[in-house]
Amino acid sequence: QEDLKDFVPLYTTFERFFVRNVIERGYDVLHRPVCTVPGAVIDIRERKFSSSGKFLGLTGKVFRNVVNLGSYNYLGFAQNEGVCADAAVKAVAELGTGVCSNRFEVGNYEIHSKLERKMAEFLGVEDCMTFGMGFATNSMNIPCLVGKGCLVISDACNHASLAIGCKISGATIRVFKHNDMKDLEKILRHSIVEGHPRTYRSWKKILIIVEGIYSMEGTIVNLPEVIRLKKKYKAYVYLDEAHSIGSLGSRARGVTDYFDIDPTEIDVLMGTFTKSFGASGGYIAGRRELVEHLRLNSHSACYGVSMSPPVAQQALSSLNVIMSEEGKERITQLAANTRLFREKLRTFGFIVYGHEDSPVVPLLAYLPSHIACFSREMLARGYGVVVAGFPSTPLGESRVRFCISSALSKQQILDALEAISDIGDIMRLKISAKQILYK
């Protein structure tokens, strides 16, 4: 442990204390080996740890047919059978699994261009470019859009890939309170009046970075207000739709569809294929000049391998289904499952974060020590869940983060709710009506 100390500079001493004492004691609930497709049900292998957190090996016990409440499989496309899986298998037979090159060199395949054209059509913008990894789509492309002399205004709950991209860019970074439009406007107003703190010149560019659905909060961005402010202060908007693309809006086109906003109002539309599409990789879409600029300058595209053909095929097949009648059914099912799940949790007396239409459902478990216990209890009852605590969340706001899928049946959701309610009683996580009144 001691010689590993230098490898965790991201944590302060206080955070390291927590990581060691709380997270490591609950290590069995993290990195769980999953042995099946991340569909509605999964098989999970058990591992054993000593009381000091030392890994003692796989015990061989496999929890079978565990209902999956943790994967980002919003529209149920993570599967190993059906038309999408068949098309991916065909792509493996024809093109293999890896392209072993980037788009500049010999990694530029027809399937990439097909996916990009279809994605641009789906999103209602001029052009789109795909990248091998969602994380790198943010972290490597933001530095192509802003640099020294530019100002980035970023939501406090933005994903790590966005924060890293901002840091690498060299731009000045200001952070506004999560989804707080008054705070965003305050920063914008100050920035316009004062300009760059050393040169006093006005900023070369101001970029507001927000997400569609925030992955730890389940909040939906207040996009109409972001657009109003962007216009008023002549800024640009970068929207990360990793969780909202496919899961929001009547046509699954994300947060612009949800608010009925013209997608061309957003300067940079970013998203990933890792969630609603059951694939992997990311994309950036928008005006043709923006995408052309990235094609020539993006480090992720120039120096990183392009999407594996069967993965690109999976994304394309999912997209074709999303744009069909079957897609509409999946979206309706996802919305119904989400509403049922959220509503019931609230009536049970749990504190649930986020917007009622968000399939990311964080349930407050308070202390970091609660989360491992909750996860183990759920697994013992046949449910796989994701838990998160400090430093990913504030200290007393540890949470269970459910991700709802259209692949889950109503019965599976109702049974899961019963198990959650049961554990909530045992762990005293519910608040009574009296407590609410008192508050």
Query: Which of 32, 103, 112, 159 forms a contact with ligand PMP (CB under 6 A)?
Result: 159
Binding status of residue 306 toward ligand PMP by CB under 6 A: no
Integer CA distances (angstroms), 36 to 33, 330, 378, 416, in order: 10, 22, 19, 20
Binding status of residue 146 toward ligand PMP by CB under 6 A: no
Q: Measured from the CB of residue 212, what is the shortest distance to ligand PMP in angstroms?
A: 8
> Using an 8 Å Cβ cutoff, are 273 and 279 in contact?
yes
Binding status of residue 242 toward ligand PMP by CB under 6 A: yes
Q: Measured from the CB of residue 285, what is the shortest distance to ligand PMP in angstroms?
A: 15
| CA distance linking residue 243 with residue 232, whole number of Å | 28
Query: Which of 274, 298, 306, 313 forms a contact with ligand PMP (CB under 6 A)?
Result: 274
Query: Which of 154, 161, 169, 300 forms a contact with ligand PMP (CB under 6 A)?
Result: 161
> Using an 8 Å Cβ cutoff, are 266 and 245 in contact?
no
> Using an 8 Å Cβ cutoff, are 335 and 343 in contact?
no
Residue 123 DSSP label: H
Nearest CB to ligand PMP, comparing residues 161 and 300: 161
Window 185-224: residues binding ligand PMP (CB under 6 A): 211, 215
Query: Which of 272, 338, 393, 398 forms a contact with ligand PMP (CB under 6 A)?
Result: 272
Concatenated DSSP letters of 43-78:
EEEEEEE-TT--EEEEEEEEEEEEEE-SS--TTS--
Nearest CB to ligand PMP, comparing residues 272 and 421: 272
Count of residues touching ligand PMP (by CB under 6 A):
14
Q: Measured from the CB of residue 299, what is the shortest distance to ligand PMP in angstroms?
A: 16
Q: Measured from the CB of residue 274, what is the shortest distance to ligand PMP in angstroms?
A: 3
Q: Measured from the CB of residue 213, what is the shortest distance to ligand PMP in angstroms?
A: 8
User: For residue 428, how many other CB atoms are within 10 A of its CB?
Assistant: 9
Burial class of residue 285 in the structure, from the number of CB atoms within 10 Å of its CB (0-12 exposed, 13-18 middle, 19+ buried): buried
54 phi-psi bin (left φ>0, alpha ψ -120 to 50, beta other): beta
The angle subtended at Cα 64 by Cα 58 and Cα 66, nearest 5°, is 110
Q: Measured from the CB of residue 329, what is the shortest distance to ligand PMP in angstroms?
A: 25
Window 126-145: residues binding ligand PMP (CB under 6 A): 133-135, 138
Token pair belonging to 5: 């100390």
Residues making contact with ligand PMP (CB under 6 A) = 133-135, 138, 159, 161, 211, 215, 240, 242-243, 272, 274, 282
